[in-house]
Structure 1
């Protein structure tokens, strides 16, 4: 990778990281529990069913204020996928810095089985949280 391209990649990586930190900071200060601050999930509004992302804003808010138990109650899938997200972010940062990660997390290099496993996990979670009586998966 050329120095110019690496510099551009580092700029993009820093920008995305700063935007993510800023978004978490805003969520830490402005609670999604209070109505009127954030829009309702469009899927929930149209169908009346939870989507896999429902409760994610409240889960991130709970993590930002140091309450992982509430975060797990709001969206357990998000909490389960956070290590994967952190690993992807770390791999990206290492690639930008010119230090290859052991397993390069690049869209063209992620094993197909891993993509299918993620798809099945999200779809199963989506279905399971809408089963009547299974409120333990609902972001109540």
Structure 2
């Protein structure tokens, strides 16, 4: 928990839009292809400053994942405060995960990556 708050605080304080603060994406540097995480730090910076529109513009996938992860994290905190044993965060999900959920999530990430690298998907590029 402390590490997460510290990481978000650091990204909120040190603007990734300014060059030289963070390393470049290796995939983008070597191939010119945007990975699914490209723009993620800019999205985190925007979320830390309460700018949801800028977060969506930087990386829509990451911006949508943040609220989902925050809800999961809050559910975990609730269970810990109630002193209930939590074996894993997966146990907190309303639907038990199956292999098909992983395939669907992987397919969405792959589709996002492909579309943002095509000319008509330039709006998804950071």
Scaled to the shorter chain, the TM-score interval is 0.7 to 0.9
| 1:86 equivalent among 67, 70, 75 | 70
| 2:40 equivalent among 50, 56, 62 | 56
RMSD: 2.3
Which aligned segments of 4 or more residues in structure 1 are displaced greater than 6 angstroms? none
Q: SS of the residue aligned with 2:28?
A: helix
Residue 121 of structure 1 corresponds to which residue in structure 2? 108
For the 8 Å contact 1:41–1:54, the answer to whether it is kept is: yes
Inter-CA distance 137–91: structure 2 relative to 1 (3 Å threshold): same
Structure 2, unpaired ranges of 5+: none
Which whole-Å CA distance do the structure 2 matches of 1:112 and 1:44 have between them? 30
Residue 84 of structure 2 corresponds to which residue in structure 1? 98
**Deviation of residue 132 (structure 1)?**
1.8
Which whole-Å CA distance do the structure 2 matches of 1:116 and 1:105 have between them? 20
Residue 28 of structure 2 corresponds to which residue in structure 1? 44
**Deviation of residue 89 (structure 1)?**
2.2
Which whole-Å CA distance do the structure 1 matches of 2:9 and 2:91 have between them? 29
Q: SS of the residue aligned with 2:46?
A: helix
Q: Report the TM-score, using the length of structure 2 for normalisation.
A: 0.83
Larger Rg: 1
Q: Report the TM-score, using the length of structure 1 for normalisation.
A: 0.76
Which whole-Å CA distance do the structure 2 matches of 1:113 and 1:82 have between them? 22
Structure 1, unpaired ranges of 5+: 1-16
Deviations 1:8-46 (A, max 9, x none): xxxxxxxxx111111111111110010000000011001
Which whole-Å CA distance do the structure 2 matches of 1:43 and 1:126 have between them? 12
**Deviation of residue 91 (structure 1)?**
4.3
